[in-house]
Structure 1
Amino acid sequence: MGDQVGDRTTGAAAGGSGEGGATGPGRAANAARTAVVWEALAGLLDRLGGGAPLDIVDAGGGTGGAAVPLAELGHRVTVVEPSPDSLAALERRAAERGVRVRGVQGEAGDLTSLFPEGGTDLVLVHNVLEYVEDPLAALREVAGITRPGGAVSLLVTNAVAGTLHRALAGHLTEARTLLEDDRGRWGPGDPVPRRFTRPGVLELIGAAGLTGERVRGVRVFADLVPGHAWEGDAHAGRHLVELEKAAAEHPELLGIATQLHVTAHRP
């Protein structure tokens, strides 16, 4: 699950390939969509471990787009993923990069049966809650395996931005439907089962027993600026990366961010 970002139709892994400072046009395009998340993760890793290896679980981690770069930094990473094909691709990706990432077949709702209670330093839940049957139950599973003082990195699709994007595409009726729908869906053909608002995701986090939330906007401009203006231009791509980083914590801009990245802690 976690390999895709946004509406799971564009972009790379939630961690990409860890190339936030890359200079090639393709890498700059990827970095514009992932740099904010990686910057937040870097801060979490430093605060939690101060450079020491951490135990990390990537729930719904797909083919290891985030897990493999974290393993390259020396952390002990386990991916929980329901798809056997994704786990096989994860194994190949890790082998190609010369690192070990443990893969476990399972769902986000299985975490407390797969890991010791309170034994994980950091849990990644990137683009997962949109697809699970019960987001609160899944997040309680996440909280259950997170150690006291440990952290959760949560990435969800933003319902408000989804409304904006449907309207800009000329689908005005669908935009209105999405805006008023409890699940943030624009209709029965919507491929995303659920989107979240900022208040909604914060309420969910609190109900799961997590605290200390910090919310950032991800892809504030990257999905609005026409691709021809930057995707083939490494210089413009770098400027967009810096703009995304600057915009990430502006509360006025959170509404137009395609995704919301929240870091929370277990008390």
Structure 2
Amino acid sequence: MSDQPRPRASLRTAVVWEVLKEALDRQVKAAGRDALDVLDTGGGTGNFAVPAARLGHRVTVVDPSPNALFALERRAAEAGVADRVRGVQGDILGLFDVVERGGFDAVLCHGVLEYVDDPAEGVRNAVAALRPSGALSLLAAGLGGAVLARALAGHFTEARQALTDPAGRWGEGDPVPRRFTAEQLSELVSGAGLEVGAVHGVRVFADLVPGVLVDTEPGAVDALLKLEAAAAELPAFHSVATQLHVLGEKRP
């Protein structure tokens, strides 16, 4: 897994990063430029923005949290890419108050749709920020993963509640306002005018495996990373993934 560290935390981002890196490489070839303009909506402290900037791309991060943007600035400086990372306070529903329309080769929308009032509008804004032939990387909480997690924890009533609730919530104490199926996310992407390039299940196993097993068994992290990568594109595992990733491509 290139450009990513191998600690257990990488299990949360490795599959998405590999897909995103390949998409950026394709965009570089299509655009005929070494550096792309990338927009990361809800990019927080730079989990994806800083690695993208290390590849040479110019990244604009839009996030509503001043604290996250401060941490992003510090992280980018420590990585030596401060000149290629710009943080702007804002959110996806007011995106064009802070960035221009049609100004980006790729847009990242990771962990955002769960929290906005109108996910469809959020996706439409992300698409409107793309240049012709641009790509959208969409990552959101998966319904099936939450149902499975509650059931395995013995919370069977909450698991059933999540399964039947229109927003996929398991109860009043659920910290996630909304979850999605792969079909719902794909429909949001295609409904905004993009072609769905690929769908991936993310954290299919990582959130279910006991931490002590991963931390103590030699080679366990690498083996689990390979298992996650092997299962990510298989539709059978999309229904139990903690997160779902959809790659959309804009056709000129």
Q: TM-score, normalised by structure 1?
A: 0.88
- The CA deviation at 1:116 is 2.6
Q: Which amino acid aligns with 2:111?
A: N
Q: From 29, 34, 39, give the equivalent of 1:57.
A: 39
What does 1:165-176 correspond to in 2, within 5 Å? Answer: 165-176=149-160
Q: Which amino acid aligns with 2:89?
A: Q
Alpha-carbon distance, 1:243 to partner: 0.7
Alpha-carbon distance in structure 2 between the residues aligned to 1:148 and 1:231: 44
Percentage of pairs with the same residue: 54
State the partner residue of 2:12.
Answer: 33
Q: CA deviation at 1:158?
A: 0.4
- What CA distance in whole angstroms lies between the structure 1 residues aligned with 2:76 and 2:218? 28
TM-score (norm 2): 0.93
Contact 2:196–2:246 (CA under 8 A) maintained in structure 1: no
C-alpha RMSD of matched pairs (Å): 1.5
User: Which deviations, in whole Å up to 9, do the C-alpha atoms of 1:166-188 show, x marking residues without a partner?
Assistant: 11111111111100111010111
CA contact (8 A) 1:112 1:144 kept: no
C-alpha distance in 2 between matches for 1:132 and 1:234? 41
Q: In structure 2, what is the equivalent of residue 68 of structure 1?
A: 50
Residue 102 of structure 1: aligned partner: 86
SS of corresponding position for 2:13 = helix
On the 8 A contact 2:189/2:196 being kept in 1, the answer is: no
Residue in 2 that maps onto 1:19: 4
Equivalent positions of 1:149-160 (< 5 A) are 149-160=133-144
Q: List runs of 5+ in structure 2 lacking aligned partners.
A: none
Query: Superposed, which structure 2 residues align to 1:1-267 within 5 Å?
Result: 18-20=3-5, 22=6, 27=7, 29-50=8-29, 52-100=34-82, 101-267=85-251
Look up the equivalent residue of 1:19 and give its one-letter code.
Q
Structure 1 portions without partners, runs of 5+: 1-16
Offset of residue 96 of structure 1: 1.2
SS of equivalent residue, structure 2 residue 197 = strand
1:205 Cα deviation (Å)? 1.3
State the Cα deviation string for residues 136-162 of structure 1 (Å, max 9, x = none): 111111010111110000011100111
| Number of aligned residue pairs | 245
CA distance in 1, matches of 2:206, 2:199: 18
CA distance in structure 1 between the partners assigned to 2:114 and 2:79 by the alignment: 30
